[in-house]
Amino acid sequence: MLSLQSVFAVDVRRAQRPAGLRPPKKRAHGGDLPAIKSVAFNQPHPAKVNAPRGCPPGRGFGAAAGAPIIGRPPRPAPGRFFKKPGEPVTRHTVRIAMAQINTAVGAVDDNARKIRHRIAAARALGAHLVSFPELALCGYPPEDLLFHPAFVDAGRRAIDALAAHTAGIVAVVGCVERDAAGHLYNAAAVLAGGRVADVYRKQRLPNYGVFDEKRYFEPGDGIAVHMLGTLPIGISICEDIWPADGPPVRQAQVGGARILVNINASPYHAGKREEREAMLAARATATGAFVCYNNMVGGQDELVFDGQGVIVAPDGTILARGAAFAEELICADLTVDAPARPHAPDVRHVSLGDPPAAPAPAPVPNLAEPLPRTEEIRRALLLGIRDYLGKNGFKKALIGLSGGIDSALVAVLAREALGPENVTCVYMPSRFSSDLSTRDARALAEGIGVRYLELAIEPLFGAYLQTLAGPFKGLAPNEAEENLQSRIRGNLLMALSNKTGALVLTTGNKSEMAVGYATLYGDMAGGFAVIKDLPKQLVYALSRHINRVAGRPVIPESILTREPTAELRADQKDSDSLPPYDVLDPIIEAYVERNQSQDEIVALGFEQDTVRRVMRMVDLAEYKRRQAPPGIRITPRAFGRDRRMPITNRFRE
């Protein structure tokens, strides 16, 4: 069975590190504490940096901005720091907590309440510092809510109120800051001793893919280091840590930071965890600092955030990892050696006070194992369904069953996400529906224990044909008659939705959405498109995975093995209209996700006529995709926020 494996007795031999990094010389041991990830680790090399002291006025809510960088001292060799002979060194043991939480966009008061509770929980564990995700206070992404002054004002009031709950602990909270000129910043409020001690402003603003931060925010500048006693800590936000010369690297190499706290709202796509952890290991080894990477968890419209925050040692070893797609409080004891030196002149230093002694015993090490790829995708879809419905006030879902693989998968996912009592499946046969489809639809619904309805559409279809007999006279049958059936089904589902308050989940996959193999106001009618970003081959792989994990055919084998068909005309098959999916899906991936040209795709081994035809179908279907409901992003480039193409488009290769 493929499932989440938690490691409850972890030492550094089992901590994960990228290939090519040597194992650490020292090892830490621990025991079992399922809800808390933590580790104690001694840093082997002190940093050759200027240790800060003092606290010039920092920027904050109403505070003055820090000075920009004037010059940059020579950098030490990546990952290697040396202390001078006879130089005094201070050893620090600091307890760091990361609150991996699920917040809702716009729910400022609810989010603040959750943050307050996690501050209290971290303090009870003896943590000196607790971090929260990027824009945790207002939710991410807030989009054009940021243009409403009342929205920004609510966040400011909440930050001031949260500061009062930080006696004996430092809290780093993602929020929006507005300066006196009205400029907005993606910020991290640093709360300590009952006050807003500082506000860090994100410097690298992403403006690609699903990100639009330059539409709303101004970038911050300068190097800031926050002093927990005499321990220098760097604070940064998400994209800041991705470039090799970004703010966290400068905080360590110029400002002397020994721990880098990075807060994130990093959206999930398949393969993102591996990419992210390799980058974080590179930053840790380049700076010789601990990296504490906290990520948001939860679903927000098309985006899902996977959590999986990590603490990375200076040699690149992953010491702690939060659970995937679940809230968690991650806690770690880190032992750091830092030489006492004068400040670098171009670094802004902020004092956070002296930390109290951490209580014994130290937190217990734990390291969540990464999920297998297909299981990871399943968890992302479940969280996306649960949060989209829950955060928008829906409790129940409706799914139109066809007897095929797509609707079967959506029904199984909805049942697991919402519970069988909250899912209704509706089978709507026509004159073209086969006995096999009827049997499979019933078997699926009965097997997963959901409510099942059968509504025959033949009387309605006949009435439509009779009404249209005059206008259709003399015209050969075509897609018009086929699409009537799909639109009748969509109308019935929407009527049931209006009557019961259940949300209709559509069942189209990425392959179909790419080439327009879907009916506007028919099978596209609904409120949420669960598998909108799953290519057809992945639909099959995920369905087989679900059966394998369950140890039984949750999705009947006959659904998995029959040839795909829409059953809108006699003996219809998908292959009548489309290339085989093992040809179609790679072409779509190359064209849509990798922006490859026709010649480049042909060079992969596909026939030129097929490639040209698929590219043309993708381009023509843009008008349909603009009218589709939102759906969960799974691939590195999904239709919607990721890919913005004109509908009226006369360009051809």
List the chain residues with pLDDT less than 70: 1-88, 339-343, 358, 364-365
241 with 260: CB under 8 angstroms? yes
170 with 196: CB under 8 angstroms? no
Q: CA 591, 596, 599 angle in degrees (round to 5)?
A: 110
Residue 66 has φ and ψ, to the nearest 5°, of -75, 165
Sort strands 170-178 and 184-192 into parallel, antiparallel or unpaired.
antiparallel
With the CA atoms of 546, 549, 551 and 557 taken in that order, what torsion angle do they form, in degrees rounded to the nearest 10? 20
Residue 492 has φ and ψ, to the nearest 5°, of -65, -45
CA distance 616 to 595: 14
216 CB neighbour count, 10 Å cutoff: 18
Domain limits, CATH 3.40.50.620, in the chain: 374-574
232 preceded by cis ω (within 30°)? Answer: no
CATH of domain 374-574: 3.40.50.620
Query: 368: burial class by Cβ within 10 Å (0-12, 13-18, 19+)?
Result: buried
141 preceded by cis ω (within 30°)? Answer: yes
Predicted local distance difference test score (pLDDT) of residue 615: 96
Predicted local distance difference test score (pLDDT) of residue 19: 41
Predicted local distance difference test score (pLDDT) of residue 68: 26
How far, CA to CA in Å, does 332 sit from each of 28, 152, 289, 318, 367? Answer: 11, 33, 15, 12, 11
Would you please indicate which residues are annotated as catalytic (active-site) residues? Answer: 134, 202, 238
Predicted local distance difference test score (pLDDT) of residue 341: 53
Tens of pLDDT, residues 630-642: 999 999 999 988 8
Q: What is the 3-state secondary structure (H, E, C) of 298-347?
A: EEECCEEEEECCEEECCCCCEEEECCECCCEEEEEEEEEEEECCCCCCCE
535 with 510: CB under 8 angstroms? yes
How far does Cα 113 stand from its chain's mean position?
22
Predicted local distance difference test score (pLDDT) of residue 365: 59
CA distance 150 to 232: 36
How far, CA to CA in Å, does 595 sit from each of 58, 127, 490? Answer: 44, 47, 34
Domain limits, CATH 3.60.110.10, in the chain: 36-65+88-370
Three-state DSSP at 238 gives helix
Contacting residues for 301 by C-beta, under 8 A, at least 6 apart = 388, 630
Predicted local distance difference test score (pLDDT) of residue 282: 97
Architecture of the CATH domain 36-65+88-370 = 4-Layer Sandwich (3.60)
